[in-house]
A and B are shown apart, each in its own frame.
Chain A
C-alpha cells in the first residue's frame, strides 16, 4: 500500500474507531503482535508425536514466523506465550497481588461476581456445569498458573511502553466500505478470572463498521480508490461475539441499542472473554458439549412432540430456548472498568492490516498455546485471516456475508438496484403478456375444436385428446395470469419502497434480528438475596445432610435424601418465582407415569378402544361427506 493510501485508510479508520469499555478486574488489553511475538516461542505438534520447539523465545521474528514449513499434514503450528510459573514465582505473585489490592484498593481493578452468578440457572444445569469443570482434568487445558504468568509478562510489557493497539482493515465489497477493527489480546482468562468457560493464550476479537460513500452513486469492487473519510456515512455495525455470525450480529447505525459518542460506536467487552456486546450487562452464554448433544436433541424432540402433537402450552420465550444439558456461563460486559478510545483514559494506536500484512497472511498456526483440548475451548485461536483448521475465515474474505449484509445494497445504490429490478419486472411482464395472448388464442382454437367434436361418436378419441390439451393449456394459462398479477403487485411494492427510500425510510431498524443477545436483568431472572443465598449454600448443605444421615439415621437415608432434595428444589423455585412452573412439571410427570400405569394395566383394552375410536371417526367423516 502506498504511503498516501495508508494515510487515507488510517484517517478513515480513526474517524470511526470504536470506544471499548471493559469490566472491572480486566487484566489484558489489546497489544501489538510484534511485542507479543518477542515473548513467544514457536512450536509444532506433529500428529501422534510430542511437540517440538522450532524457534526459541527471544529469537522469533515475523520473518521466522511466516517462513514456509512442510512438516506433513495434520501438523499444528502454535505459539507459546508463557511458561507456567514455578511455585516460588506463583507465591511471590500472589503475595504481590494481595499487597497491591490492600494498598491501592483501585476499584477499576477489582471484579465482583455480584448477585445471581450461581442462582441464574437451575440445579440440573449447575450439576452439568460441575461435570464440565471435572472434564478439565481429563481433557487438555491451559495450566492454572499460566494466567498469573501471562499477567506478569503483560504488565512488564506495558511498563516498558504502554500501548493499546488495534489493527484496522479497509475493505471494499459490493459498494460497501467495510472497516474492520481487530483487537489482539495476549490472553483470555475468562475461566480463571471470571468463572467462564475457558482460558487460552492469544485472543482475536473484531468490530466492523459498514459505510458507504455518499459522494458516489456507484462504488464498485474494481474502483478501489480510497474516498475521503468525511464522505463516508456509516450504516451498519457488527460486533464479533463468540462464534456467532449472520443477521443477529448486525445493528443499524440508528438502532437505539448502538451506543455512540460522535462517530464512535461504544463496545462493551466481556470480562476475560473479550467478546463484544452492544449493551452493558451480564450475558448468559450456553456451551453444548459434544457428548451431551444426543441428550439435547432428545429434549428438543420431546418438547416438540409435547407442544405440537399434544398441543400443549409452549414455555415462555425466556425459558424456551434453554436446555438443561447446555452449560450456562455468564459473560460479564459491565463496562465499569477501564475504557479505551477517543476522549477516554487510554487511547488507541492504530495499525493497518491488509492482504499484504506478512504475519496475517503468512502464518496459519495458532496465536498461543495448543492445549490439545478436543473441544477447542482451551486451544488458542488462529489469526484474523485463518480458522484453526487453516481455512480462511469468512469474516476475512466475505465481511458482508459474515454479518448477513450481502443481500443489502448500500443506500446510495439501493435506488439503482430498485430501478434495475423494476425494469426486469416490466420486461418479464411484457414477456408474460405476450405468452398469455398466444396461449389464450391457442386455447380458444382448441376449445372450438373440442366443441365441434363433442358428441361425434366416430371422433371420440380426437375429442378426448383435444379435451386433455384444453385442460392442460387452461391450467398453464391460469398459472401465467397468476404470475402476471403477482409481478404487478411486486412492482407496486417496489414503487412504495422507492417512495420510502426517497424519504430515507429504511424500515424498522431491528426487522432483520431473529434472536437478539440481550443482557439478563435481575428482574427477568427473579433473583433476590434469598435465591443467591440458597444457590450458594445448597450443595454444601445437601452434602452435610447426607453425611449426618449416614452417620446418625442410616435407616432413613433414602427418605431423608428425597425430603432434602424436595425441600431444596421447592425453596429455590419459590424464591426464583418459578413455583408454578415446578408444580406444572411435577404434575405433568405424574400424569405421564399414571398414563404408563394405565397402558400397562389395560394395554389390550387401550388398543381396542383406539381401534374402535378410529373406526367411528372414519364412519363419522364419511357420513359427513355423504351429507354434504
Chain B
C-alpha cells in the first residue's frame, strides 16, 4: 500500500452500504431542500419584499417563513452529512443518527398536527435501518487505514 492515495484507501475500506446510506441521505436532503423552497415561496415572502421593501418588516412574516427556513437548514445539514458519511468521517455516524432522529421527530409531530409527510418518514426509517447495519457501524468504529 506504499503508493496508495487517500482516496484509494477510502474506496477500499468503504462498505457498499455506506455508499447507499450516503446517497439516500443526499437525496433526502435535496428533496427537503425543494420542500423548504416551496414553503418559503408559498409563505408570501417575495410579495412582501416587492411591495414594502426592508423599511417595514412585519413579525407575522417571520412566523410564516420560519418552517421553510428550518427545513432548508435541515436539508443543507443532511446533504453536508451525506458527504461526511461518504468520506467516513468518524463523527458522521452520530451526527447523521441525530439528524435522522430530529427528522423523525419532526415528521411525527407533523403527523399529529394532521400535516403528515409519509415519504419523509419512510426514508427516515430506511436510513435508520441502514445506519444500524453492523457493516456500517463497523466502518465508523474502526480507524480508517493510515496512508503509508
Chain A contact residues, CB within 8 Å of chain B: 310-314, 579-580, 583-584, 586-588, 590-591, 593-595, 597-598, 601-602
| A-B CB contact pairs (8 Å), 7 listed | A312-B129, A312-B134, A587-B104, A593-B104, A594-B107, A594-B108, A594-B125
Cα distance A587–B93 in the bound complex, in angstroms: 12
Chain B 44-86 interface residues, beta-carbon cutoff 8 Å to A: none
Which residues from B are CB-within-8-Å of A601?
Answer: 116, 118
* A311-B133, A313-B133, A588-B132 known; A594-B121 Cβ under 8 A: yes
Q: Are A597 and B97 in contact (CB under 8 A)?
A: no
Chain B proximity of A479: nearest CB distance (Å): 38
B29 CB contacts on chain A under 8 angstroms: none
Give the residue of B97, B118, B134 whose beta carbon is less than 8 angstroms from that of A584: B97
Looking at A310, A587, A591, A601, which has the most chain B CB atoms within 10 Å of its CB?
A: A587
Which listed residue (B100, B105, B125, B137) contacts A595, Cβ 8 A? B125
Complex CA gap A601/B111 in Å reads 11
Chain B positions within 8 Å of A583 at CB level: 94, 97-98, 101
Of B100, B116, B121, B136, the contact of A587 (CB 8 Å cutoff): B100
Inter-chain contact B129/A310, CB cutoff 8 Å: yes
The answer to whether B128 and A580 touch across the interface, beta carbons within 8 angstroms, is no
Name the interface residues of B94-132: CB closer than 8 Å to any CB of A.
94, 97-98, 100-101, 104-105, 107-108, 111, 116, 118, 121-122, 124-125, 128-129, 132
Pick the residue among A314, A580, A588, A590 that contacts B134 (CB under 8 A).
Answer: A314
- From known contacts A583-B94, A584-B97, A598-B121, infer whether A591 and B104 are also in contact, taking CB-CB under 8 Å: yes
| B101 A586 Cβ-Cβ under 8 A | yes
Q: Which residue of A lies closest to B100 (CB)?
A: A587
- Known contacts A587-B100, A591-B125, A593-B108; is A598 also within 8 Å of B118 by CB? yes
CA distance A396 to B133 in the complex (A): 49
Contacts of A310 in B (CB 8 A): 129
A115 CB, min distance to chain B CBs, angstroms: 27
CB proximity of B65 to chain A, nearest CB, Å: 27
**Which residue on chain A has the smallest CB distance to residue B120?**
A594
Report A-chain residues with C-beta under 8 Å of the C-beta of B97. 580, 583-584, 587
Let me know if B133 and A312 touch, CB within 8 A. yes
Known: A584-B97, A602-B118. A311 touches B124 (CB 8 A): no
Please give the distance in Å from A51's CB to the nearest CB on chain B: 56
* Cβ–Cβ contact B134 & A313, under 8 A: yes
Identify the closest chain A residue to B127 (Cβ).
A591
Which residues from chain A contact B138 at a C-beta distance below 8 Å? 313
A598, B134: Cβ atoms under 8 Å? no
| Bound-state Cα–Cα, A215 to B104, Å | 73
Contact across chains for B122 and A313 when beta carbons are under 8 A apart: no
Q: A312-B133, A583-B94 are in contact. Are A598 and B128 (CB under 8 A)?
A: no
- A98 to B98, alpha carbons, bound, how many Å? 53
Name the one of A313, A580, A590 contacting B132, with C-beta atoms under 8 angstroms.
A313
- Distance of B99 from chain A, by nearest CB (Å): 9
A590 lies within 8 A of B104 (CB): yes
* CB proximity of A110 to chain B, nearest CB, Å: 42
Instruction: Report A-chain residues with C-beta under 8 Å of the C-beta of B132.
Output: 312-313, 584, 588
A590 to B132, CA, bound (A): 14
Q: What residues of chain B lie closer than 8 Å to A590, measured between beta carbons?
A: 101, 104-105, 108, 128
Roughly how many angstroms separate A310 CA and B128 CA in the complex, as a whole number? 12
Determine how close the nearest CB of chain A comes to the CB of B137; give it in whole angstroms: 4
Provide the residues of chain B in CB contact with A584, threshold 8 Å.
97, 132
Task: Tell me the complex Cα distance, A329–B93, Å.
Answer: 33
- With both chains docked as a complex, state the minimum distance between the C-beta of A122 and any C-beta of chain B, in angstroms: 19
CA distance A421 to B26 in the complex (A): 64
List the 8 closest A-B pairs by CB distance, nearest first: A587-B101, A590-B104, A591-B128, A313-B137, A312-B132, A313-B134, A594-B121, A580-B94
Q: Which residues of B contact A579 (CB under 8 A)?
A: 94
| Complex: A319 Cα to B95 Cα, angstroms | 22
**Complex alpha-carbon distance, A447 and B98, angstroms:** 71
Minimum CB–CB distance from B125 to chain A (whole Å) comes to 5
User: A587's closest neighbor in chain B, by CB?
Assistant: B101
- Most interface-central of A312, A590, A595 (chain B CB within 10 A): A590
Q: In whole angstroms, how far apart are the Cα atoms of A602 and B121 in the complex?
A: 13
Q: Give the complex CA separation of A597 and B117 in angstroms.
A: 11
Given contacts A583-B94, A590-B108, 4 further A-B contacts (CB under 8 A): A310-B129, A587-B98, A587-B104, A593-B104
Question: Which of chain B's residues have a CB closer than 8 A to the CB of A595?
Answer: 125
CB contacts (< 8 Å) of B122 on chain A: these are: 598
Question: In whole angstroms, what is the CA distance A139 to B90 when docked?
Answer: 51
- A562 to B: closest C-beta gap in Å: 13
Cα–Cα distance between A103 and B95 once the two chains are bound (Å): 57
Q: Chain B nearest CB: distance from A602 CB in Å? A: 7
Measured in the bound complex, the distance between the Cα atoms of B133 and A313 in whole Å is: 5
A593 and chain B: residue at smallest CB distance: B108
Min CB–CB distance B130 → chain A (angstroms) = 10
How far apart sit A450 and B101, CA to CA, in the bound complex (Å)? 71
- Residue numbers in B under 8 Å from A597 (CB-CB): 108, 111, 121
Which residues on the A side are within 8 Å of B111 (C-beta)?
A: 597
Report A605 CB to chain B, min CB distance, Å: 10
CB distance from B5 to the nearest CB of A (A): 30
In contact, A588 and B121 (Cβ under 8 angstroms): no
Q: Which residues does chain A contribute within 8 Å of B133, judged by CB atoms?
A: 311-313
Report Cα–Cα, A579/B94, bound state, in Å. Answer: 9
Of B122, B129, B132, chain A has the most CB atoms within 10 Å of the CB of B132
**B104 touches which of A311, A312, A580, A594 (Cβ 8 Å):** A594
Is B128 in contact with A588, judged by CB distance below 8 angstroms? yes
A583 CA to B105 CA in the complex, in Å?
12
- Does the CB pair B128–A311 fall under 8 Å? no
- Which residues of A sit under 8 angstroms from B108, Cβ to Cβ? 590, 593-594, 597
Q: A311-B134, A588-B132 are in contact. Are A598 and B101 (CB under 8 A)?
A: no
Complex Cα distance, B125 from A437, in Å, reads 63
B20 CB, min distance to chain A CBs, angstroms: 14
Bound: A583/B100 CA distance, A: 10
CB-CB under 8 A from B129, the residues of chain A are 310, 312, 591
Interchain CA distance A580-B90 in the complex, whole Å: 12
A315 to chain B, nearest CB (A): 10
**Roughly how many angstroms separate A41 CA and B116 CA in the complex, as a whole number?**
74
Instruction: Give complex CA distance A595, B124 in Å.
Output: 10
* Residue from A314, A598, A602 within 8 A of B125 (CB atoms): A598
In the complex, A583→B124 CA distance in Å? 15
How distant is the Cα of A511 from the Cα of B4 in the complex, in angstroms? 39
CA distance A597 to B122 in the complex (A): 10
Nearest B residue to A579 by beta-carbon distance?
Answer: B94
* Complex Cα spacing A238 to B15, Å: 45
